[in-house]
Amino acid sequence: MDILKAVIMQKRKELEESHVLENNKKYFKRSQLISKQQEVHEIDKGNNEAAPSNDSQQSEESVTDSSSEHLLSRQEVIRRLRERGEPILLYGESEIEAFKRLRKCEILEPEVNKGFRNDFQEAMEQVDQAYLNEILTSSKSQSLDGKGDVNVPDEGVTYEDIQKMSTKLNKGDKDFDMSVITLFVQYLVQVWGNQLNSRSTAEKMGTKGKMNSATYAQTREYLKPLLRKLKNKSLPEDITDSLTEIVKHLLQRNYILASDAYLQMAIGNSPWPIGVTMVGIHARTGREKIFSKNVAHVMNDETQRKYIQALKRLMTKCQEYYPTDPSRCVEYAKN
CATH number, domain with residue 293: 1.20.940.10
Q: How many CB atoms within 10 Å of residue 95?
A: 13
**In the prediction, which pLDDT does 48 show?**
65
Position 322, amino acid? Y
In the predicted model, what is the mean pLDDT of residues 168-176?
85
The three-class DSSP label of residue 242 is helix
Helix and strand tally (H, E) in the chain?
Answer: 12, 0
pLDDT of 242 > 80? The answer is: yes
Residue 48 domain-assigned? no
Q: What mean pLDDT, rounded, does the chain reach? A: 76
Q: Residue 250's closest CA among 171, 335, 188? A: 188
Task: Tell me which residue range forms the domain holding 228.
Answer: 147-277+286-328
**In the prediction, which pLDDT does 142 show?**
43
> Is the distance from CB of 177 to CB of 165 less than 8 angstroms?
no
170-174, 294-298, 311-315 — which is least confidently predicted?
Answer: 294-298
Per DSSP, helices labelled H in 93-158 are 95-108, 119-137
In the predicted model, what is the mean pLDDT of residues 81-107?
87
CA distance 55 to 118: 39
Residue 214 domain-assigned? yes
Taking the CA atoms of the chain, what radius of gyration do you get in angstroms? 35
Q: How many structural domains comprise the chain?
A: 1
If residue 218 lies in a helix (H) or strand (E), which one and from where to where? helix 207-232
Residue 304 domain-assigned? yes
What one-character DSSP code corresponds to residue 88?
A: S
245 or 11, which is more confident? 245
Residue 154 domain-assigned? yes
In the predicted model, what is the mean pLDDT of residues 199-221?
86
CA distance 63 to 60: 5
Residue 295 domain-assigned? yes
Q: pLDDT-based confidence at 139, cuts 50/70/90? A: very low
For residue 61, give Cα distances in angstroms to 55, 58, 65, 92. Answer: 10, 5, 6, 21
Q: How many CB atoms within 10 Å of residue 105?
A: 15
The full DSSP string for 283-295 is --GGGGG--TTTS
Residue 137 domain-assigned? no
pLDDT of 131 > 80? The answer is: no
Q: How many CB atoms within 10 Å of residue 309?
A: 15
Predicted structure pTM score: 0.56
Residue 226 domain-assigned? yes
pLDDT in tens, 55-71: 555 555 554 555 444 67
**In the prediction, which pLDDT does 173 show?**
85
Q: Residue 189's closest CA among 61, 318, 324? A: 318
Per-position b or e across 202-238, b if 16+ CB within 10 A of its CB: eebbeeebbebbbbbbbbbbbbeebbebbeeeebeeb
Position 40, amino acid? V
